[in-house]
């Protein structure tokens, strides 16, 4: 009997198979098992297909990359629910909602503070009594609010004066000479280092740097003067740069020689072991 016709077996046919003997019953049971296996596989495929179709129906332009034009038409009840949800969101206050765990800045310890300013209430909010100076005593539990700010930044302007002295012995006049690190520029090393760092490392243009120096340090710099500062810094950094390059090359060479010695020692031990064998 074909497996495709097993689903329509009547009682009389089943009795006929039973009376036909053991061999017919075994063959019939095997056909039933084969048909059941085929049905199980087909059912699994259909279930997987139904799951994919249901997932596609749940997707929209709001929860996937589908364009809004491919969204299924919403029912009247769905449109009302979306409008209520949007109105509820518009009524919600800005900022953290009730129950939301905050994630603000951590307070710096007291030993890292530069200044502590105490604030006391002027009067009682209950009866209006004005608090005197003797009543303003620090409490054990107080509110904390820390503010980080930059100190006022200004350029320290120093004038170097070279004086001329007359010798009492020969009556010759001699003028003082500026030190080499001062006489070569009108700008000090710290200001020059700040300018070079911002122009080289932070890639600020020369023209923007002149405006930034005026705004941050209160000093007027021309583009030519700023470029001269960068050129002097480049010349001064040639020797340290070459020294770092040589030091790095030496480390690479030492590392390479160390690997060569290790490889040579491994080859030697391999040769010794082979000879001993």
Classify residue 127: in a domain, yes or no: no
Last residue of a domain, one of 220, 236, 252: 236
Torsion angle of C-alpha atoms 102, 103, 109, 114, degrees rounded to 10: -100
Pick from 20-34, 76-90, 205-219: least confident: 76-90
Residue 175 bridge partners (DSSP)? 164
In terms of pTM, does the model score above 0.85?
no
Confidence of residue 97 (pLDDT cuts 50, 70, 90): low
Count of domains forming the chain: 2
Using DSSP, how many helices (H) and how many strands (E) does the chain show? 8, 2
pLDDT single digits (tens) 132-146 = 888 888 888 888 888
Q: Is residue 157 part of a domain?
A: no
- Would 261 be classed as within a structural domain? no
- What's the pLDDT score for residue 164? 92
For residue 196, being part of any structural domain is answered with yes
| Average per-residue pLDDT for the chain | 79
The first and second tokens of residue 195, run together, are: 């300018």
Query: Does 202 map to a domain?
Result: yes
Mean pLDDT, residues 69-98: 71
The token duo for 126 is: 């209950």
Predicted confidence at residue 155, as pLDDT, reads 81
pLDDT value of position 275: 41
Residue 74 lies in a domain: no
In-domain check, residue 102: no
pLDDT category of residue 183 using cuts at 50, 70 and 90: low
**Structure tokens given for 74:** 């919403």
User: Residue 14 sits in which domain range?
Assistant: 1-40
Residue 228 lies in a domain: yes
pLDDT digits (tens, 9 = 90+) for 211-255: 988 888 888 888 888 888 888 888 888 888 888 888 888 777 666
Nearest-angstrom CA–CA distance, 184 and 37: 95
3-state secondary structure of 225: helix
Find the mean pLDDT for residues 78-96.
Answer: 74
């Amino acid at each position: 009997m074909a497996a495709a016709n097993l689903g329509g077996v009547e009682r009389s046919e089943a009795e006929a198979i039973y009376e036909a003997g053991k061999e017919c019953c075994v063959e019939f049971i095997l056909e039933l098992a084969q048909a059941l296996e085929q049905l199980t596989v087909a059912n699994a495929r259909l279930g997987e297909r139904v799951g994919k179709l249901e997932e596609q129906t749940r997707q929209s332009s709001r929860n996937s990359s589908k364009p809004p034009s491919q969204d299924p038409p919403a029912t009247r009840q769905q449109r009302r629910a979306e409008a209520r949800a949007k109105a509820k969101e518009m009524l919600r206050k800005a900022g953290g909602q009730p129950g939301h765990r905050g994630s603000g800045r951590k307070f710096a310890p007291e030993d890292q503070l530069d200044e502590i300013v105490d604030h006391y209430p002027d009067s009682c909010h209950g009866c209006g009594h004005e608090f005197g100076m003797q009543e303003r005593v620090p409490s054990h539990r107080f509110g904390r609010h820390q503010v980080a700010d930059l100190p006022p930044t200004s350029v320290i302007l120093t004038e170097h004066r070279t004086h001329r002295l007359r010798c009492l012995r020969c009556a010759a006049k001699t003028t003082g000479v500026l030190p080499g690190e001062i006489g070569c520029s009108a700008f000090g090393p710290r200001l020059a280092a700040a300018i070079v760092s911002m122009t080289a490392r932070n890639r600020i243009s020369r023209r923007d740097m002149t405006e930034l120096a005026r705004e941050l340090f209160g000093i007027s710099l021309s583009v030519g003067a700023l470029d001269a500062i960068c050129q002097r810094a480049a010349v001064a950094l040639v020797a340290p740069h070459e020294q770092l390059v040589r030091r790095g090359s030496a480390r690479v060479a030492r590392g390479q020689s160390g690997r060569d010695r290790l490889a040579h020692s491994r080859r030697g031990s391999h040769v010794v072991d082979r000879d001993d064998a």
